[in-house]
Structure 1
Amino acid sequence: MLNNNFIGFDENKEYLPKDFDEFNSIIRLRQLFLSLSNNILKSTCHFTKHEQIKLSKVNLKEAFSHKIKELMPFSFIKTTKKKNINNFKLCVNSTKIINNYLNKNTKHSIVISNKNLLPVAKIISLCFINNKMQLFIDKHLLFHEFVLKKIKKLHSDKIVIDLGDSICIKSQDFVGLKIYTSWKDIEVKKPNIKDELEDAIKSIKKGEYYQIYLAYPKNNEFTKQIPVFVDELKNKEYQIKAIPYSLRSIIKN
């Protein structure tokens, strides 16, 4: 059974987050995945805003298959029968990956020789596994990278450090702010923030930071900052807040 921390697809079956905020349709949830995946896959597989809107109308398998086809250098393809492949100079590693993908359901071998095969080979190696299309990404990592990108843009005049489990913002005139990120569906009356809160308390006790934000995706209920007070820190100067982080920019044209 797939861990619910991962979202993505296995052939035509899609594993997407449940409806939240304005992501209230499968089309918007697909667009969300395609956009967030850009921050993880980076230059290997980048969907433009236009592609996100267009390809969200088909399932994720078709979206990534389209991307592979788009990057395939078909003008450099030579097709032959499998038993009669002539000598042909190959970009060996990339060709093996691409041919395995292309020849899955065909009776002919497609032999490719091109020095620019690596980009498409990289995409295939990411989402063509065990002879089928599939790709899963940790949703907490997707959200972390989204927040990191936004913070770097917003605080371009400061030093932004990715600490893996958190993000730090510093400058010469600023003591520092630490942000823990987690993709959780926060209920305001009973927020599930125990793990992140424990990390925040440890950080404050060590004297590393006194201002800490716990960032989660914004939803219909969780729309405002929630101050968090901790009894064991009552004698310390500190500030902890649960912060709703909007993902709506992804679906804005």
Structure 2
Amino acid sequence: MAIFYLIYFLTLPIVILVALFLPADKKEVSNHDAESSKQKQRVNFLVIFSCIMMFVFFILIMNIFTKTSTLIVELNYTNQGFLGTAFTMSSLIGAIGGFVYGHVRSALKQFTPVVALILIGIVYLLIPSVNSMLILTIILSGGMLVVSIFIPYMYDILLPGAPENSTNLAISLAMVSCNLGSFFSPFMVQWLGNLVGNTSTAFSFALGGIVFVMMAFVFLLRGFKKNTSVVLENQK
């Protein structure tokens, strides 16, 4: 078992490089931070919109990790112990999916989140209806693939869209929104279930699927609005 922990020695070269080269740039970075701190940081509509969307997204996406195990018990799946492997496989596929994000963004442009959210909505609507761990693993893999496209897109529009000299604030707010969404996920899902009088695990996935589709509609309107603005600008 001790051999397993030897993997951490792979980080040793990174530590050495940081120790050797970071002090040389420290003064320059400190001066840059001091200069930036003098300028007032602020947020705009895009930052607020992005934070809200990511907050809601993480509330819903955490259902996969907190509710799937309960669901397969309720539906009496065979080979339930395979769920851990299913999560690992789907996470790896999601990580690989991040490499194709650039191509997806180039093809779909501002409609990238629309397609991503519709697909994850379909995944959520399908999860309660599957009857085998194999199909569930495939569906979870598709869901993680979509997550690896949606999240980079949100940061991709946030960085250039944030007010000047407020990029660090925008990124910090976005990260806080993601973490808060993950933290409040079980409480919000339970509250929504109580609100509509249905707290079953299957319904929590169905509800998540519906909300994802609603989010896709919001991004669709935003995409059409952006297209209209570009057309009007070109006509001037």
Q: TM-score range by the shorter chain?
A: under 0.3
TM-score w.r.t. structure 2 length? 0.23
TM-score w.r.t. structure 1 length? 0.22
Answer 1 or 2: higher relative contact order, Cα 8 Å, separation at least 6.
2
Structure with the bigger percentage of helix? 2
